[in-house]
Amino acid sequence: MTSVKKYRVESIDLLKGLVMVIMALDHVRDYFHYSANFYDPADPTQTTLPIFFTRWITHFCAPAFSFLAGLSAYMVGKRKSRKELSRFLVQRGLWLVFIELTIVTFGWYFDIHFRTISLLVIWSLGVSMITLAALIYLPKNLLLIFCCLLIFGHNLLDKVQFNNNLLWEILHQQNFYKLSDSTQLFVGYPIIPWIAVMALGYYFGQFYNQTYTASNRKRIFNIVGFSALALFVILRWTNSYGNPVPRQQYDSFSKDVVSFLNPAKYPPSLMFLLMTLGTTLVFLANSEKLRGRLVNFFSTFGRVPFFYYILHIYLIHVLAMIFAELSGFGWKLFILPTWIGFVPAMKGYGFNLVTVYFVWIGIILALYPLCRKFDHYKQNNKHKWWLSYL
């Protein structure tokens, strides 16, 4: 039986670690693969299956991590009063938003002028935590209803468009917003329905209470997870509600596969969340008994995700500058005025997919010793409050 009195749940750390490692693959692809500067890797008319699946596997990262952040908040709340947990979530959420606007944004662009400020996954986690600070006061059933309404109903808003409206773009419309003649805001992660994904994770945290055995939890998670995946297949196959753009059919099997497995991510459509969160729940249901060196390897990253996240962005960017210099493009190419895929000077730079995978593996292996040392430091210094923010 897994008790919430235990500070760490190993299957959660394992999934967090897997998510963080897989996430780095997408970021390495952005900064190293030649196709990243020519076309969307999920475009059925231009991509290949290896390139698409390199992108597709990373689709699971943001939903899984947001869900797990909510689940972890529930675990933390077992050792705090509701007021203390709410205050912690607000403080940590504000901290994450600040980090996104400063350290993370600089890491993506290396631009001291901050010509583009990005609101990406760290921002969405921060805002979701601030929102969760209020939602934890709801009765559990009402919280579940709120989550379902937002996740299942937000695609009704797809046809609502407001040009150059910052509030709407923050809520539900990915876009660039001009702040001044020299600065733009890139809203990469509109907050609807991300706030519901984290709140849903918080709701599912109760299944780790002592009143639920591991077998009961496995049964519940499998039922919900496989039901979500089945609903995804039905909705996607019938081309009905749940995605802003209908699935297209092509005269090629590979193109049809890409089209079927590529629901909208920005913001995440109902189909996208059914596909990714369904898989998340199935993994959690069937991974509690996994043990061994490989599990310990990935769990290390899962116990220090924020520390790892910051390091991997800067390491990837620095290595990309070195590769650009060595390949004749010059390191200054990677002082970016906007998101890398929208920089015209990038066309022609880049390497094949094999190189991308080698760089990715090298980055993971290089970061592991640092993450392991920091993990040990955190485990041996739990009394230091500031470590909960890293």
**Predicted TM-score of the model (pTM):** 0.94
- Give the model's pLDDT for residue 347: 87
- Give the model's pLDDT for residue 38: 82
Please say whether the beta carbons of 130 and 89 come within 8 A: yes
Please say whether the beta carbons of 88 and 136 come within 8 A: no
Q: What distance in Å separates the CA atoms of residue 302 and residue 314, rounded to the nearest whole number?
A: 19
Per-residue pLDDT of the chain (390 residues; tens, 9 = 90+): 333 344 467 899 999 999 999 999 999 999 999 987 788 899 999 999 999 999 999 999 999 999 999 999 999 998 899 999 999 999 999 999 999 999 999 999 999 999 999 999 999 999 999 999 999 999 999 999 999 999 999 999 998 888 889 999 999 999 999 999 999 999 999 999 999 999 999 999 999 999 999 999 999 999 999 999 999 999 999 998 999 999 999 989 999 999 999 999 999 999 999 999 999 999 999 999 999 999 999 999 999 999 999 999 999 999 999 999 999 999 999 999 999 988 988 988 999 999 999 999 999 999 999 999 999 999 888 888 788 777
Structure token pair of residue 63: 């939903």
Going by C-beta distance under 8 Å and a sequence separation of 6 or more, which residues neighbour residue 56? 42, 261, 262
Please say whether the beta carbons of 57 and 21 come within 8 A: no
Q: What distance in Å separates the CA atoms of residue 15 and residue 390, rounded to the nearest whole number?
A: 18
Q: What distance in Å separates the CA atoms of residue 61 and residue 128, rounded to the nearest whole number?
A: 16
Decide the pairing of beta strands 116-119 and 184-187: parallel
Helix axes 270-285, 140-153, angle to 10 degrees: 130
